[in-house]
Structure 1
Amino acid sequence: MKVTFFVSALAALSSVSAFPFMSPGGNTEIFGLIKKLNAADPQQIQSLTDQIKQGMAQAGVDVPKTNFGSTNFRNLSPESIYEAFGLERLRQTAMDGNEANAQNNTFDTEGTIPSNSSLVGRDLASFLGFGPAEDAAHPWIAPGPGDLRGPCPGLNTAANHGYLPRNGVVNPIELFVGAFQALSLSPDLCAILAVISFVFRGDLTTLSLSIGTRNGLGDGLAGHGVLEGDASVTRQDAFLGNHWNVDKGRFDLLLKEMDQYGNGFITPYSLAQSRFRAWDYSRKNNARFDFNPWRMLVAYGESGFVNENLRGDNIRFTKDMAYHWFILERFPPGWSKRKIPMTTPEIVAWALVIELLKPTLPGWSLGIRGLFIPVPSFSSLGGFFGGGILGGGGSNTIQDIGCAVGGAVLGWFPSMLTNLFGALNLGAAGGISC
């Protein structure tokens, strides 16, 4: 029977102590969170489950289903991801800055479908997107005093346009519907992010979550660890300063890397270089640098989110677009979300692809600046999760990696939360089952 890969992988992992590489080094934060969760009211967890189900239903979108799960991560490429998920409109972004040239555009300069495309006969406007995200119903309004904003430029922008509550405090249904309408996140991915966010960073007594700093009993998404973490491309590490607002110096470095590695555009290759730069700075300067394998996966998932979701239906991701997202926190002019929602298997695939382009190492700096201790015998993110170390089948497929990640994450959770994932029945999204 097919069940969610997060739940079924739990059999391979009974506790976080079985796989200490998944817990933050030299830091007891995760164990404090577990203590908090064990004291949670089961009725609050049930209410969270019910609201997440309602949010999934209201988003009302079909998740792309493919046989992508059987793909070995070493055979992944931007091209293969686009093909698997039907993202032919974005074919040009598969190229790094050294290979990009106009004749490889999937769509010509007039925006029509080439005769050799499998999309011939389909309605171009319908395929490309849903129209400009900034419209009469969603004008940009700068956040006012007391409005909460955090480390995610996508969520901040969605709130500034009213797709999420403008005060920056959401319930599960608002998060689901707003993230889909504004950013094209699929229900399966939203469900996973919602559970982790609301449980670890939200206020379960009110079923509310701040997309920024603390609100009520919840730390908000700006709370360090779990989802927000070190080695951000555009923000400082928590140990070094403000970790939820964009750092102008780091953003300027991102623009330079777009020039150096992407011919002036964001590409998978430029993002890999940007991530390496951020990682290298943190390991040399942050005495409390925490880049455990979970944080590493989330960090590269963030890069995949930027490459795909913030690009929207555009072939190119320009500096002006980056300025709008990261500095103004406003949709770029004429920007429309991508037609096909981002699923969990796809964002994992992008994380693996980008990491291989300029590899880093997971590990920790345990109180001494410059003394970085890497995870032993680490070769790649995909190999770590898919090679059987954390309970995957050992074949390095997307399915094995998803199962192993799910099992490792659920090693943090008490049984009531593993049951929550099971109740959401995310199972076969993207063709992955464990």
Structure 2
Amino acid sequence: MLWDTSLAVINLLAPNRPANRVVPAGHPGFNGEWPEYVPPKEGDSRCSCPALNAMANHGILPHSGRNITFKELNATIRTTYNFSPSFCYFVPNYAAQMLSRDYSTDTFDLSDLDVHNGIEHDASLTREDVAFQPDQGKPSPRLVKELLECGTGPNGDLTPADLSRISGKRRTESRVGNGQFSLSTFHKLFGSSNSSTLLTIFGGRKDDLIPFLTEERIPDGWQSRIRHPFGLTLTEFNSTVLPVEFGIKEELPWNGKPKKTKSA
């Protein structure tokens, strides 16, 4: 955390990267030129995280989604989405510990990350609960559509209040409709962290989020909205995550009757 806080302070003092030069030269996405998008094929491994799936679909990670090193994940997340070095170490290292693997030497498949209540959790905004959708590698069209249509910002863009509202609705429906529902405080914060990347890295912009969430494809010409030289730190990220989480209210949907989720 000291490392992360130091990077956050430097980001405040150092000039931002140009908007069209966030991805470093020599890396996929430089100048907004992303490798060809190829949807996953039968036998390819995908997980509940759209950001990682998109990287595999563009070949930034192995397209198969298999035999990925944790160090490789660290490096590619950094250059693709401009997360800070501290952030990019924390998440893969947590995943390695979750899977009881060695960060420095072991590999994983994307689907390995979907250990229930590890990183994957109930009441996701893009996936049906695992009780209804055992394969978490594909987004739920129903949930993605609802998420994209809830924006109240300019051009239908998402705001923190929108994410709090749709998360509260989703948690309520999941709690009522899923007899196996569980969501700890840790996973509530993790869920709000996942959704908050839509506000930070994508700026909440609906036009960019449509291909990202529906196809798990990075839009042509896109660059991360985080332009800090040392990327998005955990310290800065929390300033978005906590208001989203604290704004969530679990209550019956507006029609007064929760819907029971079905398998996608």
Pick the TM interval, shorter chain: 0.7 to 0.9
> Which residue of structure 1 lines up, in the alignment, with residue 181 of structure 2?
289
Structure 1 residue 185: deviation in Å?
1.6
Determine the structure 1 residue equivalent to 2:256.
none
Q: Any idea what SS the aligned residue of 1:65 has?
A: helix
- For 2:36 and 2:20, the matched residues in 1 are separated by 24
Q: 2:77: which partner in 1? A: 179
Asked whether 1:64 is paired with 2:8, we answer: yes
The amino acid across from 2:108 in the alignment is L
Deviation (angstroms), 1:136: 5.7
Write the distance in 2 (CA, Å) between the matches of 1:325 and 1:126.
19
CA shift for structure 1 position 277: 1.4
| Residues 79-118 of structure 1 mapped to structure 2, 5 A cutoff | 86=12
**Residue-pair matches, total:** 240
Matches within 5 A, 1:39-78: 63-65=7-9
Deviations 1:40-64 (A, max 9, x none): xxxxxxxxxxxxxxxxxxxxxx933
* Alignment partners' CA distance in 1, 2:208 and 2:116: 27
Instruction: Give the equivalent residue in structure 2 for 1:352.
Output: 242
Tell me by how many angstroms 1:254 deviates: 0.9
Unaligned segments of structure 1, at least 5 residues:
6-61, 67-84, 87-117, 214-219, 362-369, 371-434
Q: One-letter code of the match for 1:179?
A: I
State the match for 1:207 in structure 2.
106
Matched, 1:335 2:222: yes
Distance of 2:162 and 2:21 partners within structure 1:
25
What is residue 192 of structure 1 aligned with on the other side? Answer: 90
What residue is the counterpart of 1:317 in the other structure? Answer: 205
**Superimposed CA distance per residue, residues 245-283 of structure 1 (whole angstroms, 9 cap, x where no aligned partner):** 21111111112212xx33511111111112111111111
1:141 aligned residue (38, 42, 55): 38
Following TM superposition, by how much is the alpha carbon of 1:126 offset from its aligned partner in structure 2, in angstroms?
6.1
| Offset at residue 224 of structure 1 (A) | 1.1
What is the Cα deviation at residue 124 of structure 1? 7.4
Q: 2:144 aligns with which of 251, 257, 263?
A: 251
4+ residue runs over 6 A deviation: 2-5
Question: 2:191 is matched by which residue type in structure 1?
Answer: A
1: CA distance between counterparts of 2:250 and 2:194? Answer: 15
Check the 8 A contact 2:196/2:240 in 1, yes or no: yes
State the Cα RMSD in Å.
Answer: 3.1
Aligned in 2, Cα 1:141/1:359: closer, same or farther, shift over 3 Å?
Answer: same
Alpha carbons 1:324, 1:332 under 8 Å: kept:
yes
* TM-fit CA distance, 1:4: 7.5
Letter matched to residue 182 of structure 1: T
Alpha-carbon distance between aligned partners in 2 of 1:293 and 1:355, rounded to the nearest angstrom: 10
TM-score by length of 1: 0.50
SS of aligned partner of 2:162: helix
Q: Percentage identity across aligned positions?
A: 22
In structure 1, what is the equivalent of residue 257 of structure 2?
none
What residue is the counterpart of 1:326 in the other structure?
213
Cα contact 2:54–2:218 (8 A) shared by 1: yes
Report how far residue 288 of structure 1 moved.
1.7
1:271-329 per-position Cα deviation (integer Å, ceiling 9, x unaligned): 11121111111111111211111111101111221211233xxxx602x3222111211
Task: Using the TM superposition, give the Cα deviation of residue 190 of structure 1 relative to its aligned residue in structure 2, in angstroms.
Answer: 1.9
- The secondary structure found in structure 1 opposite 2:114 is coil
Q: Aligned partner of 1:65: which letter? A: V
Q: Which residue of 1 aligns with 2:159?
A: 267
Counterpart code for 1:63: L
State whether residues 197 and 209 of structure 1, in contact with CA within 8 Å, keep that contact through their aligned partners in structure 2: no
Amino acid at match of 1:133: G
In structure 2, what residue type is equivalent to 1:147? D
Per the TM alignment, residue 360 of structure 1 is displaced from its structure 2 partner at its CA by: 4.5
Change (3 A) 1:252 1:159: same
Asked if 1 retains the 8 angstrom alpha-carbon contact of 2:20 and 2:223, the reply is no
User: Cα 1:210–1:310, aligned 2, differ >3 Å: closer, same or farther?
Assistant: farther
Q: 1: distance between equivalents of 2:33 and 2:223?
A: 14
**Other-structure match for 2:170:** 278
- Secondary structure class of the residue paired with 1:290: coil
Counterparts of 1:229 and 1:197, CA distance in 2 = 14
What is the deviation of 1:203? 4.8
Once the 2 structures are TM-superposed, how far is the Cα of residue 184 of structure 1 from its aligned partner? Answer: 1.2
